[in-house]
Structure 1
Amino acid sequence: MLSKYAQEISEYLSSMMGRSIIITDINGIIIGSPAKERIGDFHPPSIPCIKYKKMSFDDAEAAKKLGVWYPGSTVPLFYNGRVIGTFAIAGEPEIVLQFSMLVKNQIESMLREKILSPTMSSPQKKINDLVREISLFDPSSDDHTSLTKRAEQFGIELDRPRGVIAVFFSNFRGLGLEKNPVKISYENYSDPIEDEIDYSSMHGRVIVLLREIFPDPQTIIASVARDRFVVIRPCDISDEKRLDEDVERSGEAAEEIYNRLKEASLETIIGVGHPARNLFELPNAYRNAWDVAGIAEKLSLPPGAYTFNRLLLEEMLISVKPHVSLRFIEKKLAALGSDGDAHDLLETFKVYCETFFSKQQAAERLHLHRNTLSYRLQKVEERLGISMQDFKQVTAFYLALYMRELGNRGGSR
């Protein structure tokens, strides 16, 4: 990609500066020069400049030894933190030094502008911006008129019931979409600018795939980050029955997204949030979908599709704010954890609760004799100061233990 613009930039800056400015690729080959006969020639000073990522200076004598045309300075060019080539300015080093960094910044700025400008004004970019505005919309203070008008420009009726599906790429392993794999890794290719363009291409392909699953033109599909996409789809939740049916349909659609992307060697965690009845509820539905995906990631759940009702308990626990009672329970659990057999006791207590307080099922799952299980539960009662017959007490300690396993000690998200 650097070679595509190198000659244009070289000619423009050389005419502006009144000095010869050449541009080389990562291998030191000249790809831009006001003297076009030099294109394709090797520029020796570029190699140490690229290797050490530092500016170098060559006076007339050094230039002659290296076999280059003129004395001057050679400066590495960077894109996304990686060297992509060099440029060299002809002239005595003490003269060109004063504006070498200015030229460097100008070249890198021109490259970014040429690479990014075609996408900055694209229709998809405008859709992405619309979704960001939706996510930031505050119904209590913001005027919804401008938001609905922006959506109307795309033929989208925003103020209607909608469900939100959040798609998070948990593991990039390359894309096999259609017959033209898209590069993902920045480590294995010599030109990070090419990789950036291919990454944008990958985004476009995922958008197309999502559009195949959701062909309704009222469905909003956007890329909100390098590894995150969102689907905002119309739905019918006019009564409780239709709400349940829509949640089920959303889960099935999320499963289809997961399976289609998995076929393309992409692992995803997909969150389905509680649907919104109107525009004023939409920001909360948006956040809820990402909360679900975030909880699944936090719990180290395997890639897949997760709905808000499946992770409802975990979401409630993570949102709990710290208070005296919770700290009291945690203190009790911490005290229990100081003894050598604490891990076995806590595991026994946890499994007992998760098997619906069935000693037989708990003993089978733990591979224990039933008497051993009863003995452990008795020790738990003694140390925690609770009764296994008190459902509320047992539930409170179980939830506190689960919160600790979630790595959360309360606090708003």
Structure 2
Amino acid sequence: MLSPSLAQEIAGDTSAVIGFNVLITDAEGMVIGSGDSSRVGTFHEASVEVVRSQEPATHNASQAQQLRGVRPGVTLPLIAGGQAVGTVGITGTPAQVRRFGLLVKRQTEILLRESVMLRSRLLAERAGEKLLADIAAYDPEVVEGDFLVFRAAELGFDLRLRRVAVAFEVTVPSVPVHRQSAHRQGAPTLALVRSELLRTVGEVFADPQDIIATTAPGWIGVLHRLPAAGSMASLAADCRRVTDVIAAQDGLTARAGIGEPATSVGGLHDSYQDACEALRLGNRVAGGSAVHLITDLRVHQVLTAVGQSARNRLVDRTTADLRAQPDWPALRDTITAWCESGFNLVRAAAALHVHRNTVVYRMNKIEQITGRPLREHRTTMALYLACLADRLGGGTDSAVRRRSGGR
């Protein structure tokens, strides 16, 4: 439990402070740290009995001569979890060093506990990362879902609970070339703030059943247990809290993608892939928002699945005359708002933040150019899909899939 490197650091620093040599052994009495480096790797016989009895022992000069590798001083047990995991010894006249004994013992045990907690946390993080990566890459023809359920149970997670996958992407904004050298000196890097990012996400997603792990530099995945009374709206609000806190840190921006609820390994795989898709698509069609739900982007997802060439044909054949207009972006947004507002003039004007007469003017212009009425739903839906395809622009970004841990 006490690594030789940590033991040597503790023994060396403590020896320098108190002015007496401090020696640390493992549970078998082997010296793993000492202010006198020549004693590292030797056997300290007195430590064997101290570990067995968990009681301190003192040795004067004559007593020390009868024991292998022992010098005058005091030897105390190091206790962790109710067990003796080693000893700490201080060399010197027992009357002189006894007063330092309890202080050195307690300080060493505190450092030992911190080391164990850190190692446990790191091991838990690695296990969580592996579990999330396996779910992201899940293929029922390669591995059985029950195997991942069993592995998750060993970590304390029940994958049969209702969960929703969330993917966070954290980036450092690009900086002009002439300012890059000065920016590097003060700006955080994703590698340095990794633990802080995990802590920030963990403070909001604090349910013991929430699985949180990094999937790549700047990417954090969450398999959030959705409570019975929980809603997707409250989940989106939680994601906005995370992105707001991260955005408050100097030089960082964050976005979140949200999948749909699932209760199986296969469902969680789809939910996580959907969360990553929501991030990718949301950035291309709703750049002003930091949180994107796949439920709002299903049509966009289907459009990207048909391929870039098919989307180009749809846009060219359906909107060629409209795209030639100088106010094409405004016309495109009007068509989109008209459809997404349920073909309601008032709601469309509110969504566009313009007067309803402006919407009427634009709709009349669109009808004149296309020669077809916008109240004919089949015409409008074709235009709507073409507008979405135009906003999507380029093809599928496979790099997003690789960074997020997907296939």
Give the match for residue 196 of structure 2.
205
Closer/same/farther in 2, CA of residues 348 and 152 from structure 1, 3 Å limit: closer
The answer for the alignment partner of 1:290 in structure 2 is 276
Aligned-pair Cα RMSD in Å: 4.4
CA distance in 2, matches of 1:314, 1:390: 22
* Cα distance, 1:226 vs structure 2: 0.5
Percent of residue pairs bearing the same amino acid type: 21
Does residue 261 of structure 2 align to residue 275 of structure 1? yes
| Cα distance in 2, alignment partners of residues 400 and 301 from structure 1 | 19
Matched, 1:188 2:185: yes
Question: What's the offset of the Cα at 1:297?
Answer: 1.8
**How far did residue 259 of structure 1 move?**
2.4
Provide the rounded CA distance (Å) in 2 between the counterparts of 1:347 and 1:304.
Answer: 20
CA contact (8 A) 1:251 1:305 kept: yes
Q: 2:139 aligned with 1:138, yes or no?
A: yes
Q: For 2:311 and 2:126, how far apart are their aligned partners in 1?
A: 49
Name the TM-score, length of structure 1 as normaliser: 0.53
In the alignment, which residue of structure 2 is the partner of 1:401?
Answer: 387
Distance (whole Å) between structure 2 residues aligned to residue 223 and residue 276 of structure 1 = 21
Change beyond 3 A, Cα 1:236–1:141: farther
Alignment of 1:14-413 (within 5 A): 122-171=123-172, 187-188=184-185, 200-236=191-227, 245-265=230-250, 266-299=252-285, 301-302=287-288, 304-320=290-306, 327=313, 330-338=316-324, 356=343, 358=345, 377=363, 380-407=366-393
CA distance in 2, matches of 1:221, 1:411: 24
User: Structure 1 residues 345 and 220, CA, compared in 2 at 3 Å: closer, same or farther?
Assistant: closer
Q: Which runs of 5+ in 2 are unaligned?
A: 1-118, 175-181, 402-407
In the TM superposition, residue 276 of structure 1 has moved relative to its aligned partner by 0.9
- Partner SS for 1:281: helix
**Inter-CA distance 143–368: structure 2 relative to 1 (3 Å threshold):** closer
- Which amino acid in 2 is paired with 1:229? I
1:168 positional shift:
0.5
How far, CA to CA, are the matches of 2:183 and 2:313 in structure 1?
A: 46
Alpha-carbon shift at residue 397 of structure 1 (Å): 1.2
Distance 1:187 1:150, change over 3 A: same
- Residues in 1 aligned to 2:198 and 2:221: alpha-carbon distance in whole angstroms: 10
2-side partners of 1:148 and 1:232: how far apart?
13
- SS of corresponding position for 2:172: strand
Across the two proteins, how many residue pairs are aligned to each other? 272
Judged with a 3 Å threshold, the aligned counterparts in structure 2 of structure 1 residues 142 and 385 are, in CA distance, closer, same or farther, namely farther
2: CA distance between counterparts of 1:268 and 1:360? Answer: 30
Asked if the contact 2:172–2:253 (Cα under 8 Å) also holds between the matched residues in 1, the reply is yes
| TM-score, with length taken from structure 2 | 0.54
Work out the CA distance in 2 between the residues paired with 1:393 and 1:128. 48
How far did residue 296 of structure 1 move?
2.0
Q: What CA deviation, in whole Å up to 9, does each residue of 1:25-58 have, x standing for no partner?
A: xxxxxxxxxxxxxxxxxxxxxxxxxxxxxxxxxx
> Displacement, 1:279?
1.7
